[in-house]
Amino acid sequence: MPLDEIQTELGRDRSELTEKVNALNARFRHHSAHDVMHGALQEAGEIALVSSFGAESVVLLHMAAVSDRDTPVLFVDTQLLFAETLVYQAEVAERLGLRNVSVIRANQEDIEREDPYGALRLGDTDACCTLRKTIPLQRALAGYDGWITGRKRFQSGTRAAMDFFEVEDGTGRIKVNPLAHWAPEDVRAYMEENRLPRHPLVAKGYPSIGCAPCTSPVKEGEDPRAGRWRDQNKEECGIHFVDGKMVRIGAKT
């Protein structure tokens, strides 16, 4: 197919996807997070839930279990996670009865070539995140039409205007954010009402949990994400980037 025809076809696909996302946002604008989750699983094609099994992850995992225990759940193990996270992942999956959890890791050949001594993070945290999180996840998502995230507007300025449904630039996938409008107290209330287990590190001062080398406890009064990449000009791990560039949340197309 000639290049101009390929570009026309890509533009048409993008336009159709945008229309679908706009229709979904209009339909679910005043619905609950659970409705958004259920609607995504029923109407947005083949969808996977991507979960870090971190401090607040159990909320979406519980919603997925209520909707369909066979919902594909992708857990990216960077091989630099806290031991507590690995134990928590296994316990939560069993407790909720999740039947389709996949543990995603970087190819060992890539690790041996790019980070044989596990020191890449010391010189370039972005490259480390790309190697251990972004690339493995993009490979795992290749067969899906979209994915569900736990992002919330309050977490950072780059997320302040995102909708429930977004078009992910450069991939042709839908990104679903059921908890976009939730506040911290909504998360706590849901966990308490449903008696969901908390990540053990939360009680030790970790309200946001990533890889062990790049996560530190948060002091009283600090932003909950202050312990992620402390003292670095970095807010995102990279899984919400395309081709190394931050996806513009809520951009109108």
pLDDT digit string (tens) for the chain, length 253 residues: 333 433 333 344 678 889 989 999 999 988 999 999 999 999 888 999 999 999 999 999 999 999 999 999 999 999 999 999 999 999 999 999 999 999 999 999 999 999 999 999 888 888 999 999 999 999 999 989 999 998 887 655 555 567 899 988 778 899 999 998 898 899 999 999 999 999 999 999 999 899 999 999 998 888 777 878 776 655 544 444 444 444 433 332 2
Contact 106, 136 (CB under 8 A): yes
Tokens of 228: 């992620």
| DSSP-assigned letter for residue 79 | S
Q: Which of 242, 247, 250, 238 is nearest to 165 (CA)?
A: 250
**How many domains in the chain?**
1
One DSSP character per residue, 109-122 reads HHHHHH-TTS-HHH
Task: Please tell me which residue in 129, 211, 214, 237 is annotated as part of the active site.
Answer: 237
Query: According to the model, what pLDDT value does residue 185 have?
Result: 92
**How far is the CA of 250 from the CAs of 22, 110, 180, in angstroms?**
11, 33, 11
Q: CA 87, CA 123: separation in Å to the nearest integer?
A: 29
Query: CA 218 to CA 24: how far, in whole Å?
Result: 37
In angstroms, rounded to a whole number, what is the distance separating the alpha carbons of residues 57 and 62? 9
Task: Say how many Å lie between the first and final Cα of the chain, rounded.
Answer: 26
Instruction: Confirm whether pTM is higher than 0.85.
Output: no
Instruction: Say if CB 250 and CB 162 are below 8 A apart.
Output: yes
Residue 234's pLDDT is: 52
- Please state, in angstroms and rounded to a whole number, the distance separating the CA atoms of residues 236 and 229: 9
Contact 103, 80 (CB under 8 A): no
Domain-located, residue 131: yes
By the 10 Å C-beta count (0-12 exposed, 13-18 middle, 19+ buried), 215 is classed as buried
DSSP state of 196: P
Q: Is residue 39 part of a domain?
A: yes
Q: Does any domain span residue 145?
A: yes
Report if residue 253 sits inside a domain: no
**Residue 252 in domain:** no
Structural domain of residue 112, as residue ranges?
Answer: 6-246
Would residue 237 show up in a list of annotated catalytic residues for this protein?
A: yes
Q: Is residue 226 part of a domain?
A: yes
> At 176, which CATH number?
3.40.50.620
Helical segments of the chain, H only: 3-28, 33-43, 57-67, 83-96, 108-114, 120-123, 125-129, 135-140, 184-193
Answer yes or no: is 216 within a domain. Answer: yes
- Classify residue 114: in a domain, yes or no: yes
pLDDT of residue 169: 79
